[in-house]
Amino acid sequence: MILKAENITKSFSNGQRILTVLRGIDFELPEGEIVTIMGPSGSGKSTLLNILGTLDKPTAGDLKINDLDISRLRDRELADLRNRTIGFVFQFHHLLPEFSALENILIPSLIPRKNSNLADRALELLDYVGLTEWKDHYPSELSGGEKLRVAVLRSLINRPQIVLADEPTGNLDMANASNLIQLFIGINRDFKQSLVITTHNPEVADIGHRQFEIVAGKLIQRNS
């Protein structure tokens, strides 16, 4: 099991009121699986994904990644874990505008002190999604769909065990969305990539080996 979450609870306090978004979620992610999570706006999808991605801490509950207790890690170890084990894709591509497509893909590989040159891998990935010709384009010179595909490649460059995608198609038209869906299916099939994807889009939800919905702070499986 790459990732194991037990009894995750998350509350926010806005002044007087305490809002409990997640109420005791148990979740496991085996290698090579696509998990999709649906749920109405405000149900806590992003909150859960942030916790799974170590960007946020649960109010209660345990999270283990590769049997490592996340709550025990220090800032620098967490950063290292995120760099090597987790890839993020967001609704807004969040590419760095000052870097070309190729450079953007390479950025995670440059962060560790001892980094290896992954330029060849980045080019292969660009080729994989058919964006080789766009490698030197800056984000402002790419379409929304292209930007998102580059962002997905960026999340893959360090061969992370987990890719977390928060509403990746939320900002795309139908054609680009299905393009991205095909990409997710492809990387899962070709690279045995584990994926956790939150979405409002039923088509995206359908690609999950397991498909969940957050209802009243609980994670409920929709398929079997």
Partner 1 sequence: MKFSLLIAKRFMLGGRGSGASRFTGWIAIIGLAVGCFALIVSVAVLNGFEARVTDKVVGFEGDLRLTARDPAIDLIEIAAALQGTGLVQSYMPFMERKALVINDFDDSRMVTVKAVDFSKITSFYKLGVDSISNNNSVLMGLLVSQRMNAIPGDRVKLISPIDMPLGFGLPRMLRLPIAATFRAEVLDYDDRMLFISLPAGRQLFVRKTAIDGIDLRFGDQQFPEEARTRIEAVVPTGVEVRSWAELHSGLFSAMRMEKVGAIMVLSLIILVASFNLTSTLALVTYQKVREIGILRTMGVTRPGIRRILLIQGLIIGGLGAACGLIISSALVLLQQKTGIIPLPTEIYIIDSLPMILYLQDIIIIPLIAFSLIILGSLIAGNRATLIQPKEAVQMEK
Ligand X SMILES: Nc1ncnc2c1ncn2[C@@H]1O[C@H](COP(=O)(O)OP(=O)(O)OP(=O)(O)O)[C@@H](O)[C@H]1O
Q: Does 21 bind ligand X (CB under 6 A)?
A: yes
Q: Does 119 bind partner 1 (CB under 8 A)?
A: no
Which one among 45, 82, 93, 149 touches ligand X, defined by CB under 6 A? 45
Site for ligand X in 84-143 (CB under 6 A): none
Binding region for Mg ion (CB under 5 A):
46
Per CB under 6 A, the segment of 34-42, 96-104, 184-192, 205-213 that binds ligand X is 34-42
| Order of strands, sheet of 68-69, starting from the edge strand that comes earlier in the sequence | 17-29, 3-14, 60-65, 68-69
Residues 11-50: x/- map of binding to partner 1 (CB under 8 A)? -----------------------------------x---x
Check: CB of residue 129 under 8 Å from CB of residue 142.
no
Q: Is 59 exposed, middle or buried (0-12, 13-18, 19+ CB in 10 A)?
A: middle
> Pairing mode, if any, of strands 3-14 and 17-29?
antiparallel
CA angle 216, 217, 220 (to 5 degrees): 85
Phi, psi of 39 (to 5 degrees): 150, 150
Q: How far is 3 from 161, CA to CA, in rounded Å?
A: 9
Which one among 6, 33, 80, 213 touches partner 1, defined by CB under 8 A? 80
Q: Does 76 bind partner 1 (CB under 8 A)?
A: yes
Which one among 14, 16, 140, 224 touches ligand X, defined by CB under 6 A? 14
Q: Which does 185 bind (CB under 5 to 8 A by kind): partner 1, ligand X, Mg ion, none?
A: none
Identify which of residues 93 and 210 has a Cβ nearer to partner 1 in the complex: 93
Q: Does 97 bind partner 1 (CB under 8 A)?
A: yes
Residue 164 bridge partners (DSSP): 88, 196
Integer angstrom CA distances of residue 78 from 85, 119, 156: 10, 25, 18
Identify which of residues 80 and 213 has a Cβ nearer to partner 1 in the complex: 80
Q: Does 169 bind ligand X (CB under 6 A)?
A: no
Structure tokens at 188: 């899962």
Q: Does 218 bind partner 1 (CB under 8 A)?
A: no
Q: Does 161 bind partner 1 (CB under 8 A)?
A: no
